[in-house]
Amino acid sequence: MNPAGVARVTTGCSEAPILRERGQREVFCGLTGIIWLHRKIQDAFFLIVGSRTCAHLMQSAAGVMIFAEPRFATAVIEERDLAGMADANEELDRVVTQLLARRPEIKLLFLVGSCPSEVIKLDLSRAADRLNEKFASTTRILNYSGSGIETTFTQGEDACLAALVPQMPEASAQAPASLLVVGSLADVVEDQFRRLFDDLGVGPVGFLPPRSSTELPEVGPNTRFLMAQPYLADTRRILESRGAKALQAPFPFGAEGTTAWLKAAADCFGVDESRFTAVTALGRERAKRALSHYQEQLAGKSIFFFPDSQLEIPLARFLSRELSMRIAEIGTPYLHRQNLAAELDLLPEGAVLSEGQDVDRQLDRARAARPDLTVCGLGLANPLEAEGLTTKWAIELVFTPIQGYEQAGDLAELFARPLNRAARLEV
Partner 1 sequence: MQLTVWTYEGPPHVGAMRIATAMEGIHYVLHAPQGDTYADLLFTMIERRNKRPPVTYTTFEARDLGTDTAEIFKNAAREAYERFQPQAMLVGASCTAELIQDDPGGLAKALALPIPVVPLELPSYQRKENWGASETFYHLVRALAGPHAPAPGTERPQRDAGRRPRCNLLGPTALGFRHRDDVAEITRLLDRLGIDVAVTAPLGATPADIARLGEADFNVVLYPEIAQTAAGWLTRTFRQPATKTVPIGFGATIDFIKEVAEIAGVDPTAVLAGAPSRLPWYSRSVDSTYLTGKRVFIFGDATHVVAAARIADKELGFKVVGLGTYSREFARDVRAAAESYGVEALITDDYLEVEEKVAELHPELVLGTQMERHIAKRLRVPCAVISAPVHVQDFPARYSPQMGFEGANVIFDTFVHPLMMGLEEHLLGMFRGDFEFHDEVQPSHLGHGAAPAQDQTQIKETEIEKAEIASVAQAVTWAAEAEQELRKIPFFVRGKARRNTERFAEERGLATITVETLYDAKAHFGR
Residues that bind partner 1 (CB under 8 A): 1, 23-32, 49, 51-53, 55-57, 59-61, 63-64, 66-70, 73-79, 81-82, 86, 88, 91-92, 94-95, 98-99, 115-116, 118-120, 147-150, 152, 360, 377-383, 385-386
Q: What is the largest CA-CA distance in the chain?
A: 70
CA-closest candidate to residue 329, choices 354, 355, 300, 358: 354
| Shortest Cβ 409–partner 1 spacing (Å) | 27
Q: Which is nearer to partner 1, 17 or 23 (CB)?
A: 23
For the bound state, the minimum distance from the C-beta of residue 294 to partner 1, rounded and expressed in Å, comes to 26
Closer residue to partner 1 in complex, CB, 68/173:
68
CA–CA separation, 59 and 264 (whole Å): 40
Residue placing its CB nearer to partner 1 in the complex, 82 or 281: 82
Under the phi-then-psi rule, with left for phi > 0, alpha for psi from -120 to 50, and beta for the rest, what region is 166? alpha
| Residue 374 beta carbon to partner 1: minimum distance, rounded to whole angstroms | 14
Distance CA 48, CA 186 (A): 24
Q: Find the shortest distance in angstroms from Cβ 200 to partner 1.
A: 35
Closest CA to 356 of 312, 398, 397, 318: 312
Q: How far is the CB of 236 from partner 1 (least distance, A)?
A: 20
Among residues 56, 45, 144, which one has the least CA distance to residue 95? Answer: 45
Whether 340 contacts 367, CB under 8 Å? no
List alpha helices for 113-186, DSSP H.
115-119, 124-134, 155-164
How far apart are CB 57 and partner 1 at their closest, in Å? Answer: 5
For residues 126 and 289, which CB has a smaller minimum distance to partner 1 in the complex? 126
Nearest approach, Cβ of 147 to partner 1 (angstroms)? 7
When the beta carbons of 161 and 381 are compared against partner 1, the nearer one is: 381
DSSP bridge partners of 35: none
Nearest CB to partner 1, comparing residues 64 and 173: 64
Closer CB to partner 1, 14 or 42, in the complex: 42
**Closest C-alpha to 189, from 416, 408, 393:** 408
User: In angstroms, rounded to a whole number, what is the distance separating the alpha carbons of residues 235 and 350?
Assistant: 32
Shortest distance in whole angstroms from residue 296 CB to partner 1: 31
> End-to-end CA distance of the chain, in Å?
40
Q: What's the residue count for the chain?
A: 427
CB-CB contact of 158 with 206 (8 Å): no
Instruction: Between 357 and 403, name the residue whose CB sits nearer to partner 1.
Output: 357
Full DSSP string of 262-304 = HHHHHHHTT--HHHHHHHHHHHHHHHHHHHHHHHHHHTT-EEE
